[in-house]
Structure 1
Amino acid sequence: MGAGKSRTALTSTLKHCTLWKSDRSPACRAVMMALDAMNLNITEVDVNMDKGEHRNPEMIIMNPLQTLPIFKDRELVICDSHAINTYLASRYRGSAQLLPRDAGGRALVEQLLHYDSGILYPKYRAASYPVLYEKCNCVMPDHACEIECAYRELENMLVGRQWFGGSWVTLSDISIAATISTLNILVPIDKSNYPRLSGWLHRMSEEVFFMTANKKGLGEFARRIDSSSVFDDVFKCPRSSEGRRARTGTPESELQ
């Protein structure tokens, strides 16, 4: 059973933590899913990347790389989704399920996080950025081929298992799900060629945290891919993770 269906911990509110994010970004959605899987409630601030808000001076001070997400816990600033998620799991949940405490189990999860950051995410950026920012109307064939190669690798990784990180959902599944569900919009996963990967993504899509934290951003990304217009963020003011979850229509009992 996945983390989103089995967790029983009460929500913890971290008033000193803030996440700057854009729902369209897979990296941001990975952090949002981790927050929801761990029942952590923090302040979330939407950043309109189409308007260049991530390049504002105050944002550059926090993250000179000018990328999202940006996470701040008091004076600590972390700007990589994988590092943010492992920090949250270690610091505030001590979750042996999402991030194993033993050295070997944690290394296996971190190995997959590196795969996402070093291989999957660059493929997403290469394929999507020309469409998002350069008025290209399709995914280039060489980029589509690279994505198909990643699908084959992931299909092989799932031999004999349901989840990438082991016998249950871990942070590695969450990060990979954020990227793969987005790649699936650009280059749909062929169920006949990749039955294990397709089945895994379906199981992930049934997790509560996937529905509360990933589905909206996926829809926004799909609309942005299909349109040349610039979308303004609907929510301008800082809000909480708890408030975001409440707007999904998911019964509160399912989120506890």
Structure 2
Amino acid sequence: MKLYEFAPTRSIRVRWVLQELGVEFEPVTVNLAAGGHRSPEFLEINPAGKVPALVDGDLVLTESVAIVLYLAEKYPNKGLLPADLQQRAQVYRWLLFAATELEQPLWRIARHTFLYPEDQRLPAEVALAGNDFKAMAEVLEKHMQQRQFVVGDGLTVADIVMAYTLDWAKEARLLDGFPQLVAYMERMYTRPHAAPRIAQAFASLKA
């Protein structure tokens, strides 16, 4: 099994799941800063030119949420995806909530802060996206009251995806006023098999 990754990206989600599962894998760094994602070799793996990508035998899989679901289903005895249908549906719900309601505003902020060429950035979009994120973060804040995990009484892939997304929000300085979310995120990253925080991943690139 090979994981094509770049330290600070959503690759962190997949690496974390693999580490929680205790699965051996070969990490392959795709250096986005050096244009490695545009190389012909990598574009054969993911024509979209994005990481992460997982190669497991004949299977080539992209999109971090799809990958973590695949891994959870491949190793059902590890419990990262509930056997109960209703609990599993809740995991799907919160995975999609993270990807659509929380992550999309974060992407808008990133695009209009440093990804787009400077003459294409719209400062107003940053403020609007921040407001959109906070409105949905309030929903999650209420959900997490009296909870240790997003779904049920144990770790699922929803927690790993959510913890990374909240760490991204922390980097964007959007978690002030959400004590439940901050405490939850910090707790997730103290797990023995947790992946590095985004800030740590960036720092490792400069080492």
TM-score range, shorter chain: 0.7 to 0.9
Does residue 2 of structure 2 align to residue 18 of structure 1? yes
Task: Pick one of 154, 158, 165 that aligns with 1:172.
Answer: 158
Letter in 1 for 2:91: V
1:40 equivalent in alignment to 2:26: no
CA drift of 1:123 comes to 1.9
Residue among 111, 120, 131 paired with 2:93: 111
After the TM superposition, which residues 43-54 of structure 1 pair with which residues of structure 2 at under 5 Å, given as runs? 43-54=26-37
Deviation track 1:102-137 (CA, whole Å, cap 9, x = no partner) reads: 222211111111112222222221112333434769
Q: How many residues align?
A: 203
Cα root mean square deviation, aligned:
2.4
Structure 1 pair 96–219 and aligned structure 2 pair: CA distance change class (3 A) = closer
Q: Which runs of 5+ in 2 are unaligned?
A: none
One-letter amino acid of the counterpart of residue 60, structure 1: L
What is the TM-score normalised by the length of structure 1?
A: 0.72
Which residue number in structure 2 is paired with residue 239 of structure 1? none
How far is 1:70 from its partner? 0.6
Distance 1:125 1:176 in 2: 15
Question: Which sections of structure 1, spanning at least 5 residues, go unmatched?
Answer: 1-16, 225-230, 235-256
Relative to structure 1, is the Cα distance of residues 161 and 49 closer, same or farther in structure 2, using a 3 angstrom cutoff? same
Q: Is the 8 A contact 1:31 1:84 kept in 2?
A: yes
Amino acid at match of 1:73: D
Q: Percent identity?
A: 24
Q: Is the 8 A contact 1:178 1:214 kept in 2?
A: no
Give distance in 1, aligned partners of 2:187 and 2:170: 15
Greater share of helix: 2
- Equivalent residue number for residue 31 of structure 1: 14
Question: How far apart are the structure 1 equivalents of 2:160 and 2:17?
Answer: 7
Give the C-alpha shift of residue 199 in structure 1: 1.8
